[in-house]
A and B are shown apart, each in its own frame.
Chain A
């Protein structure tokens, strides 16, 4: 096994892909992210991030999702 790094979504580089490990948050946050397809085990790609702690755009399956910086920071990802 190559060693894989676990980081949060804002720490990812634009264009980088990874697998969602877990969502650090309460029931309602997990529920909202899940309903948009962000679930543990899912592969996601970071498309871009706005500067000054702006929202992060992710490619999730066939859809693009924009997520506020704080929420994005609660998504743990294992990058390739």
Chain B
């Protein structure tokens, strides 16, 4: 048996899913958090049943790719738990009506039930059940209230017998139902609602956005640098380094295994940035340099997501994004891209047209530095002074803007206008924020750690074999001639294809000037995305789209790298 969780976007399906299956999934306060589907299972009596968290949809006539996924899934389900936002019953019932016309058993969860009271909404559940002809239960997924009762009544769900109707007939039916089951009493505007309105009005919204973004940036840096300076570096320098020095001596201070595990010593000491041993630089890069920023970035992003701020940003930036062939909602994948390109490219599915998805995914891959790239930028360039870091970010921002303007002219097709629901502000629950943070951090460790260790190991072997010298000589005209970098810099660029952060260890020993570091990090960020992002890009854009994106990447990298080298 297969149970589908369906409902409008942002009604809490993913939280509900986690509750009944125990499978943790990313949930946020904006429509379109779930773009693929997640499977889990639960016990129903003695039977083990499959449960699927379906992306949110307003209607079974799909208007975006995520909604398409939802309509297709309906064909393979045996039962639907229709999750309805009780604070917005009328609109939510449209999908319910459509579902009731299909030959599939339905049970309705009136979710977000706890918020109805202070919003002055009162719904007669018994009457609603009578009108819909299927079981209806009030639930609060975030606390778990009502979930067990709902699961107990799943066997009562029978296929309804509503005939196929037209849109107008459905809305008319909904009107009658609402009249019959819901009463609304006046309630005063809360300060949260006032803030809600203020953050989409241009005169107040733009200053609020500036403050929110600036504060986020400073808090992310403050936490990230704090973790590095007070936790990670002391751990590595005081605890791990002495241990590794003992190992170094035990290995005889030289030889193949010494070079592989410990790497080069500088004045008889380990330098975690450039020793390039699997156990030194290999562990330091993911844990010491990148992890602190991953932690601080995703903490702040999670808070912004759960409060419900991001859709407001979409409204404020819609004008700008239109000039780049996108609409405001593209800001959500773009913000995710500052963490990792993989979920960011997946999230472009919330955009309606192929053209928008192509432009958004290409821009993210080229000009949005992921956390690993940013750790590289800050790790390498930060030592030279913040003005150079600003130069790198400034260049990337200009590239993002200009490339967007160009793609808007060059890519054929149509970009629709913004049409989104803006969720209410909600007080984020710390439990939810921390769970989400842990899932993302764990995901990073599981995926990045093995690749980085492997990459460092492979680099050691390839160096020994002299492969990199051959490549360096071959690419010297571009790397040295055009970008003004030493020819060995190509190794970092090539390895950057595996993971950007590994380049920290490869560029550090070249003792580059500040200008060279700026060029080098910009080129590394813009050049081909890492292999994981590459795979997702191929899946989302198709081979033709991928090849086009790669062409744009290479051209943009060569032009920008060359120009920067000329200017600096």
- A residues contacting B by CB (< 8 A) are 14, 28, 31-37, 39, 47-55, 57, 60-71
- How many interface residues does B have (CB within 8 Å)? 35
Do the beta carbons of B420 and A65 come within 8 Å of each other?
Answer: yes
Which residues on the B side are within 8 Å of A53 (C-beta)?
Answer: 319
Which residues on the A side are within 8 Å of B549 (C-beta)?
Answer: none
Chain A proximity of B172: nearest CB distance (Å):
10
Chain A proximity of B118: nearest CB distance (Å):
13
Do the beta carbons of A35 and B94 come within 8 Å of each other?
Answer: yes
Do the beta carbons of A52 and B417 come within 8 Å of each other?
Answer: no
**CB-CB nearest in chain A for B184:** A62
In the complex, 19 of the A-B residue pairs with CB atoms within 8 angstroms, ordered by the A residue number, are: A31-B59, A32-B419, A48-B202, A49-B202, A50-B316, A57-B422, A61-B88, A62-B87, A62-B119, A62-B121, A65-B421, A66-B311, A66-B314, A66-B318, A66-B421, A67-B417, A68-B318, A68-B416, A69-B417
Q: A36-B58, A61-B88, A63-B88 are in contact. Are A52 and B319 (CB under 8 A)?
A: yes
Do the beta carbons of B420 and A66 come within 8 Å of each other?
Answer: yes
Do the beta carbons of B315 and A50 come within 8 Å of each other?
Answer: yes
Q: A48-B200, A55-B318 are in contact. Are A65 and B422 (CB under 8 A)?
A: yes
Report which of A39, A55, A64 forms a contact with B196, defined as CB distance below 8 A: A64
Do the beta carbons of A68 and B171 come within 8 Å of each other?
Answer: no
- B residues contacting A by CB (< 8 A) are 58-59, 61, 63, 87-88, 90-91, 94, 119, 121, 167, 171, 196-197, 200-202, 205, 311, 314-316, 318-319, 327-328, 416-422, 424
Do the beta carbons of A65 and B419 come within 8 Å of each other?
Answer: yes
Which residues on the A side are within 8 Å of B171 (C-beta)?
Answer: 34, 39
Report which of B119, B167, B202 forms a contact with A50, defined as CB distance below 8 A: B202
Do the beta carbons of A67 and B88 come within 8 Å of each other?
Answer: no
Give the docked Cα–Cα distance between A53 and B202 (Å).
12
Which residues on the B side are within 8 Å of A34 (C-beta)?
Answer: 59, 94, 167, 171
Chain B proximity of A20: nearest CB distance (Å):
12
Which residues on the B side are within 8 Å of A67 (C-beta)?
Answer: 417-419
Give the docked Cα–Cα distance between A4 and B422 (Å).
30
Q: A31-B59, A31-B61 are in contact. Are A66 and B422 (CB under 8 A)?
A: yes
Do the beta carbons of A54 and B318 come within 8 Å of each other?
Answer: yes
Give the docked Cα–Cα distance between A13 and B381 (Å).
50
Do the beta carbons of B422 and A36 come within 8 Å of each other?
Answer: no
**CB-CB nearest in chain B for A58:** B422
Which residues on the A side are within 8 Å of B420 (C-beta)?
Answer: 65-66
**CB-CB nearest in chain A for B352:** A32
